[in-house]
Structure 1
Amino acid sequence: MKVSDLNKEDYHEFYQTYIDKLPGDKTLGSLLKENQEDLREVLSIITPEKLGFSYAAGKWTLAEVLQHMIDVERIFQYRALCIARNDRTSLPGFDHDAYVPESDANRRDLESLKTEFKNVRSSGIDLYMSFSEEMLQRKGMVNNNTTSAGAIGFITIGHTIHHLEHLKEKYLI
């Protein structure tokens, strides 16, 4: 599946900014792997001293941003799995802002965050690569909106790109 295969009915309009970050001619598998490399490069230049850095009062620390990215990736993988397996359960939304303080990310060390992110992304690549084209095109309900399993994969990549850009701009990485 390629980004260009998506229809507007495959995802909620909120996610358009993430989809717009992706080239239309690449497959989900190739984009996941390329994005994993981009992520690895950014993570390799983060130092332990930077983890507690926040660019403004009330903004997330670098550790909290990384934990947020991990949490979202996991939630999106679960959603894609449910839809690909044709589970007709309507999946709930989640409040990502409520997850951050509960994550206790600021007690984490850099290596544990890097390892967890690498493992979660690798697991996601395996998951999406296991889906047939039919499974990727299946639709389910997420937060009262129709969503396809494939769209969730692309949204995951766009979400990561969004935060990597934010890290470079605001956290000076």
Structure 2
Amino acid sequence: MTHMIGRPQPAEAAPYYFTYINQVTGDNPVTTIESQLEESPAFFASISEEKSLYRYAPEKWSIRQLLNHVTDTERAVAFRALWFAHGFESSLPSYQNIAAASAQADTISWAAHIEEFRRVRLSTISLFRNMPTEAWTRSGIASDNRFTVRALAYIIAGHLTHHVNVLRERSYRISLHRGTPCRKQHRNILSAC
């Protein structure tokens, strides 16, 4: 039931979120979200169990923590979209990145993280595919900011793109299946050294 959704206007999300919105091309974020379901699990599966624990700096998230953050954020943002699409007027609280630390993501297998991402993404796709046309421009307050449903869909797609790009663009490449991190400047961080 997805229709021409159109791009969010500046008033549809706080300026910060356009970092993610602008990662998405075209006028239908559902198309991007669907294509990411095809591409992303394969990309993540190319990272070995061992390398999924890699941190490019001691205070930074491991790759497992990063995927856990992406998955949990998608859940929270999709809930916001559902809430606003149904016309509920109560504002929603902020979602803190600190939650990623309490999730103990490094204790969960890498394969389980990938499967959880895949299942959450399927749920998100179902939500947006069945969204009535008039719901896309409905809005509400979350984290003390106004969002439209369509802005939230773009944020979900762009948030994943942003984090995958960060993995790919780190100045230290990692070998996915052998060895230790390489100290070479390359755009494809996840290629073999």
Tell me which interval the TM-score lies in, with the shorter structure as reference length: over 0.9
Q: Is residue 3–residue 22 contact of structure 1 (8 Å, CA) maintained in 2?
A: no
Q: Which residue number in structure 2 is paired with residue 72 of structure 1? A: 73
Structure 1: distance between partners of 2:161 and 2:139: 24
Q: Which residue number in structure 2 is paired with residue 58 of structure 1? A: 59
Q: CA deviation at 1:60?
A: 0.6
Structure 1: distance between partners of 2:85 and 2:69: 24
Q: Which residue number in structure 2 is paired with residue 6 of structure 1? A: 8
Look up the SS of the partner of 2:94 in the other structure.
Answer: coil
Cα shift readout 1:110-138 (whole Å, capped 9, x = no counterpart): 11101100000010000011111211110
Q: Which structure would you say has the larger Rg?
A: 2
Look up the SS of the partner of 2:50 in the other structure.
Answer: helix
Q: Which residue number in structure 2 is paired with residue 15 of structure 1? A: 17
The answer to whether the aligner puts 1:108 opposite 2:108 as a matched pair is: yes
Name structure 1 gaps, 5 residues minimum.
none
Task: State TM-score, norm by structure 2.
Answer: 0.84
Look up the SS of the partner of 2:77 in the other structure.
Answer: helix
Structure 1: distance between partners of 2:134 and 2:113: 34
Q: Between the two structures, name the one with larger relative contact order (CA 8 Å, sep ≥ 6).
A: 1
Q: Which runs of 4+ in 1 moved over 4 A?
A: 1-4
41-50 or 74-83: bigger deviation: 41-50
Q: CA deviation at 1:105?
A: 0.3
Q: What percent identity do the matched residue pairs reach?
A: 26
Q: CA deviation at 1:4?
A: 4.2
Give the structure with the larger helix fraction. Answer: 1
Structure 1: distance between partners of 2:169 and 2:20: 17
Look up the SS of the partner of 2:152 in the other structure.
Answer: helix
Structure 1: distance between partners of 2:36 and 2:4: 15
Q: Which residue number in structure 1 is paired with residue 182 of structure 2? A: none
Look up the SS of the partner of 1:146 in the other structure.
Answer: strand
Q: Identify if the C-alpha distance between structure 1 residues 76 and 95 changes in structure 2 by more than 3 Å, giving closer, same or farther.
A: same
Q: CA deviation at 1:2?
A: 5.3
Q: Identify if the C-alpha distance between structure 1 residues 11 and 154 changes in structure 2 by more than 3 Å, giving closer, same or farther.
A: same
Structure 1: distance between partners of 2:41 and 2:109: 16
Q: Is residue 91–residue 143 contact of structure 1 (8 Å, CA) maintained in 2?
A: yes
Name structure 2 gaps, 5 residues minimum.
175-188
Structure 2: distance between partners of 1:10 and 1:39: 27
Q: CA deviation at 1:21?
A: 1.2
Structure 2: distance between partners of 1:159 and 1:132: 24
Query: How many residues align structurally?
Result: 171
